Amino acid sequence: YGLTRGDWIHGVLAGITLAMAMLPEEFPVVLTVFLALGAWRMSKQQALTRRMPAIETLGSATVLCVDKTGTLTQNRMSVTRGYVQGEWLAISAQTVQNLPERFHELMEYSMLASKKDPFDPMEQAINEFGTRGLQGTEHLHSHWVLVQEYPLSRELLAVSQVWKGLDNNGLVVATKGAPEAIADLCHLSDQERVQLQTAVSTMAADGLRVLGVAKSHLELTAEIPSDQHVLNFELVGLVGLADPVRETVPAALKECYTAGIRVVMITGDYPGTAQSIANQIGLESGQILTGPDLEKLSDIELQEKVAGVNIFARVVPEQKLRIVNALKANGEIVAMTGDGVNDAPALKSAHIGIAMGARGTDVAREAADLVLLNDDFSTIVAAVKQGRRIFDNLKKAMAYIFSIHVPIAGLSLVPIFLKWPLVLLPVHIVFLELIIDPACSVVFEAEVGETDLMQRPPREPNSPLLGRKTIVLSLLQGLGVLAIVLAVYWYGLFFRDLGEAAARSLTFVALIISNLALIMTNRSWSQTIIENLRKPNPAFWWVFGGATFFLLLVLKVPVLRELFHLAPLHLHDVFICAGLGFASILWFEMLKHHPIK
């Protein structure tokens, strides 16, 4: 401009205008705002974001690996069934008050195998039921002293506690745990094992968590062995605990399947229990793989198995890592839940680690990307939906930024090449940025999700934010606006010979209205502007109202009009420019009814 016209002041202004028009400074702002507000919106839905990239990754999750207890179920257990030597007891409010003598010992040793002040919901249920059912009997031992505890281990899924009574008649050992572990400790015969297995299967078929209970005694002076297997255990019976399914789970699970997301249940419970819960919630089960069977598989064999297994039972936390790695090796994008210390490696390895906030350990929360405050499966599904919405809106915002910079850059360059007077000056770009910045960050971020958000398959994790189709459509939108505003400028400058200021005024109005039209049409790439206006988005109306109000001020207030190098316009000219501005995006509105594949 300076070389061809000899006007270096306007040349510098033209250069500044072009630089302001071309630099997409909105991109880092948009990315920051979207992820920050996305984390805030997720927190409102009981999901805390610990690592920002997880918000975007959630939209591409293909597999959700979830614990059964507390995630699919309410984790509010109650004792509902008892089994002692072939005799069954169905627990009700009446049986609690009149617990048959035959079942007193079962509850006594169940309580002795639990902590006195338990945190675990299962032990809380046992203690609550036992305290009420054994009230007034000699089977409650609140003053006994705990001598030693054999904790749960990977090798033996049972907990034993050694107690010293007040009568000095020796030591009492109480054990509870997985029925097969109790059968092993009691050295049951094959016939007894079959009988026990039948009882366990009956309980598990009703979705109950089944615990075996056993007892043993030691002389007061006897040395307590380091290995429980040395003790002579006697089977007392079985306790069945019910843990109701969360009411929201079946609908959330159905939503996952509609969205093309596979759900895998991982539990330490008996396979029959897991299968019963799967039937209740509508989980596509098929084959069940147990922890001991998993242990026998090589990594390659496990990789083949996990492709068709949706229920893993009798799994210890350490095996979760192998499951995650096998799914990842198959190309899945894995979200994994966990709450214990031993779950941390699996949470870290998963693409999205999800820790339980209500019952999870600090170690699990530190390793996770998301923390569920209510430990609810439906919250995970809501977070996935939120992740998809955020990515969708981020894509729309980027497309809008790309498209609006095309006419701005065009209006900065074309007049120079054609030796027309300058259309845009730095002050006009600043005015436009005051509309563009809140629009691309706040307006598009607040946009509700598309109606088919959870009817689409998960997106490819390596798919670009601005793909070829998005760039082409955005470029065409921008070129459409550029063609309209250039035509308006030519019409005012040459056809009607209104002068530089008046032509600039017409073009500026057309550009502002076109900008608002671009915002409105990009709010949804599947619904028309009329349909979009029915959707709530207060931020849009603030931006639309503010832009219109300040545009009228610039046109009507002489001081501002002079600052912007504009001229007064007739009302009909403003309406014509507004109509042309909206006309620039009509082709895209029609395309929504016949989308390009």
Backbone angles phi, psi at 457, to 5 degrees: -70, 160
Model pLDDT, residue 424: 84
Tokens read off for 515 = 């900008």
356 in Cβ contact with 377 (< 8 Å): no
Backbone angles phi, psi at 82, to 5 degrees: -135, 150
Model pLDDT, residue 93: 65
The torsion defined by the Cα of 10, 14, 15 and 18, in degrees rounded to 10, comes to: 170
332 in Cβ contact with 320 (< 8 Å): no
510 in Cβ contact with 484 (< 8 Å): yes
Strands 334-338 and 309-313: unpaired
Tokens read off for 448 = 């509700």
State how far Cα 381 lies from the chain centre. Answer: 6
Query: CA 143 to CA 377: how far, in whole Å?
Result: 41
∠ CA 292-201-378, nearest 5°, is 75
Model pLDDT, residue 234: 94
For residue 267, what are the CA distances in angstroms to 10, 22, 116, 330?
72, 55, 26, 22
Model pLDDT, residue 84: 92
What is the CB neighbour count within 10 angstroms for residue 291? 18
Q: Please, what is the angle between helix 249-258 and helix 271-281, to 10°?
A: 80
DSSP string computed for 305-345? HTTSEEEEES--HHHHHHHHHHHHHTT--EEEEE-SGGGHH
Model pLDDT, residue 8: 85
Query: CA 408 to CA 479: how far, in whole Å?
Result: 10
Model pLDDT, residue 594: 65
pLDDT in tens, the chain (597 residues): 777 777 788 788 878 877 877 777 778 888 888 888 888 988 888 889 998 888 888 888 999 999 888 888 888 889 999 999 889 988 876 677 778 888 899 999 999 999 888 888 889 999 998 888 888 888 888 888 899 999 888 788 899 999 988 777 789 999 999 999 999 999 999 999 999 999 999 999 888 999 999 999 988 778 888 888 888 999 999 999 998 998 999 999 999 999 999 999 998 888 888 999 999 999 987 789 998 899 999 999 999 999 989 999 988 888 999 999 999 999 999 999 988 888 899 999 999 999 988 877 889 889 999 998 888 888 889 889 988 898 889 889 989 998 998 998 898 888 888 888 888 888 888 899 899 989 988 999 998 888 888 888 888 877 777 788 889 999 999 999 999 999 999 998 888 888 889 999 999 999 999 999 999 999 888 888 888 888 888 999 999 999 999 999 999 999 999 999 899 888 888 899 989 989 988 888 888 776 554
565 in Cβ contact with 501 (< 8 Å): yes
Model pLDDT, residue 322: 93
Model pLDDT, residue 596: 53
Q: Check the CA dihedral 49-55-59-62 and report its sign.
A: negative
22 in Cβ contact with 12 (< 8 Å): no
Residue (of 575, 579, 583, 410) closest to 486 by Cα position: 410
Model pLDDT, residue 450: 83
Q: Give the type of residue at 412.
A: S
17 in Cβ contact with 315 (< 8 Å): no
